[in-house]
Each structure stands twice: as C-alpha cells, then as structure tokens.
Amino acid sequence: MRRTRNKALRQPTDRYLELIQEFPLRRIRTKAELAAATGILDRLFGNEDADAGQTDYLDVLSDLVDSYERRNDPNYDAQATGLEVLRALMEEHEMSQSALAAKLGISAPAMSLIMSGDRPITADHARNLGKAFCVDPGAFI
C-alpha cells in the first residue's frame, strides 16, 4: 500500500500570481525574454519584504535564466575568480571600494589590497560579501 502525504501544497500568494502575470514561468527562448527576466530579478533581489510567493518565484525564475545561459552562452562554464565576481557585483551595484569596506567592517587599505589581488578573500569576507550582495558566498572563494 502506498503512503500518501497529508501535507497540502502551499497556496500561491497574491504577489506570486501578479509576478506570474507579469512574466510567466516557462522556458526562456529569446534574448528579449532573457532581458525581461533579468530585469525582474534585478528589481526583486534583495527585497527584504519579499513574501514566500515572491521567494518561490525568484528561485524558479533564476533557474530559468541559468538554464538559458547554459544553453546559449559559450563562456558559461568559464569559472570567474572570486575577485572577478566581486568586481562585477561592485560595478553592477555602483559601489565604491570605500563603501564596501565600510559595509564589511574592514579598513579601506585592506579593501584595496583585496581588490588588487594582494590579499585573498577570506571565508569570513566571503560570508559577509554573500550577505551584502545576496549571493552564495562560494562565488568569492
């Protein structure tokens, strides 16, 4: 006899349904769809007021973007260094070295050494950078 689970599926929130109407969760096929999906991700990432529905939507949409990039970007599997990831995120967020140093609680000279590659990104730095940019800390190691 098969056992069935009694747990009911979580009902979608109103915000989740609004996002589905704005950009349905389906395979991304074109650059225009990729741009629209990326725009939504950029707008919603880091939203501390996100409800469970928004979080679920973001998880799936980021997987769809990743899948498109795997299929269409010949450089997708090229591994960026932690420093390259950090530089790209700083540029994307228009963040200066001094602003990031303050956010991480390290000195400006220490930040400068990290950015020049003369000092490694430590595990502690990676955790704090992950929190600051809402990304997996492993991206910096």
pLDDT tens-digit readout, 8-26: 677 888 889 999 999 999 9
Q: Tell me how long the chain is.
A: 141
| pLDDT score of 8 | 63
What pLDDT, on a 0 to 100 scale, did the predictor assign at position 83? 92
Separation of alpha carbons 121 and 118, rounded Å: 10
Tell me how far CA of residue 113 lies from CA of 7, 109, 120, in angstroms: 52, 6, 8
pLDDT at residue 1 greater than cutoff 70: no
Closest alpha carbon to 87 in 100, 75, 106, 70:
100
Calpha distance 76→67 (Å, rounded): 10
In tens, the pLDDT along 48-106 reads: 777 888 888 988 999 999 899 888 887 766 678 899 999 999 998 899 999 999 988 99
Residues 6+ away with beta carbon under 8 Å from 14: 53
Report pLDDT for 2: 52
